[in-house]
Amino acid sequence: MVYTEIKEKNKRKYYYRVKSVRANKKINKKRIYLGVNLSKKELLREEEKADKELQVLSTLLTVEEKDQLKEIKKHYLIQPKETKENRYESFVSLFTYDSTNIEGNTLTLQETSQLLFENITPRKSLREINEVINHKKAFDYLLDIKKEISKELILKIHKLVVQNTLRPELKDQIGKYRTLQVYIRGIDWLPPKPEEVLKEMGYLLSWYSKNKKKLHPLILAVYFHSAFETIHPFVDGNGRVGRLLMNLILHKNKYPMINIPNKEKYKYYNALETSQLRGNLRPLVKFLFDVLIKEKIKF
């Protein structure tokens, strides 16, 4: 994650551009001094210069890939309105099935579709059934959102995603940044401490606000997703909420949304981990680009 740090000394403000990357279970930070008592215009100019040195995000897509994405967007926007409802049901079924299955839900694609659109309830646990229903509710909520991504919006999505799915002792964590330390299976580093979550999410939202009109939407969505999953701001539901937010960014920019197939989850995990541990976003960008290119249902 890249953000600006301000240190005050003798009534003077010193600005630093900071890039934090996990390495060997620790967070390493590289700082570039920007200046002292900078105006907003001066600060923006110095931040842009520092970002080029810290991480040139704009180069994460090749010219050919950008051209392909432009064509995808062009064809996506002229799809017939008559097929929209059908495409919606097909995409929601797939996206909900894959996103919940990645997290361990055992409903099949057919069971997911029948539950969501035919009110046929499978013989599965109530928690798993609620996970599927909740995911569609959160997705539908995102489709109607006009406002920008904010803390309040993220907490609302989390509440929709995990309602009636958490253990009783965790119910006070619904729709709130976590107050507990979380541990992620399969990795050997810890997400930030609970008391650091609000600050880290603040940095991410500030970064998003400054870059949402500067970067290609896919790069914007990938960076946000990687940083969000690294912070892991909730006790549960981080993956589902993170993928919904990633798609909200694409949707706001009039690009089709991305469904990560459960069968490719290990490629997804590996690419995500590379971005988290090495600060290298290219594998995750390339993975999601390839998924989008192969996507049969554009919604």
Dump pLDDT digits (tens) for 135-169.
999 999 999 888 899 999 999 999 999 999 999 99
Q: Whose CA is closest to 141, among 110, 175, 173?
A: 175
DSSP H or E run through 257: none
At residue 32, the pLDDT reads: 83
Picking from 37, 52, 67, the residue at the C-terminal end of a domain is 52
Q: Which position has the higher pLDDT, 50 or 71?
A: 71
Q: What residue spans of 103-180 are helical by DSSP H? A: 109-118, 126-143, 151-162
- Report whether pLDDT(53) > 60: no
Length of the chain: 299
75 & 4 share domain: no
C-alpha R_g of the chain: 20
Residue-wise burial string across 241-262, b where 16 or more C-beta atoms lie within 10 A, e elsewhere: bbbbbbbbbbbbeebbbbbbbb
At residue 55, the pLDDT reads: 61
At residue 77, the pLDDT reads: 95
Report DSSP state, residue 122. -
Tens of pLDDT, residues 168-208: 999 999 999 999 999 888 777 889 999 999 999 999 999 99
- Report whether pLDDT(46) > 60: yes
Q: Which position has the higher pLDDT, 291 or 50?
A: 291
114 domain residue, yes or no: yes
Most confident of 32-41, 249-258, 271-280: 249-258
Quote the CA–CA distance of 52 and 66 in Å, as a whole number: 20
Quote the CA–CA distance of 1 and 133 in Å, as a whole number: 33
At residue 52, the pLDDT reads: 60
Most confident of 1-10, 216-225, 270-279: 216-225
* Local confidence band at 80 (pLDDT 50, 70, 90 cut-offs): very high
At residue 244, the pLDDT reads: 98
CB atoms within 10 A of CB 75: 10
- Report whether pLDDT(120) > 90: yes
123 & 202 share domain: yes
299 domain residue, yes or no: no
At residue 277, the pLDDT reads: 84
Residue-wise burial string across 29-58, b where 16 or more C-beta atoms lie within 10 A, e elsewhere: ebebebeeebeeeebeebbeebbeebbebe
- Report whether pLDDT(61) > 80: yes
Query: Counting Cβ atoms within 10 Å, is residue 210 exposed (0-12), middle (13-18) or buried (19+)?
Result: middle
- Report whether pLDDT(83) > 70: yes
Quote the CA–CA distance of 298 and 91 in Å, as a whole number: 8
39 & 149 share domain: no
290 domain residue, yes or no: yes
Main-chain phi, psi angles of 258, to 5 degrees: -110, 130
256 & 284 share domain: yes
Q: Which position has the higher pLDDT, 228 or 279?
A: 228
- Report whether pLDDT(25) > 70: no
- Report whether pLDDT(31) > 90: no
Task: Give the domain range for residue 77.
Answer: 56-294
Handedness of CA 200, 100, 23, 289 (dihedral sign): negative
Predicted structure pTM score: 0.83
Average pLDDT, the chain: 92
80 & 156 share domain: yes
What is the DSSP code string of 130-148?
HHHHHHHHHHHHHHT--SP
Residue with tokens 């934090």: 20
Quote the CA–CA distance of 208 and 26 in Å, as a whole number: 24
How many structural domains comprise the chain? Answer: 2
CB atoms within 10 A of CB 15: 20
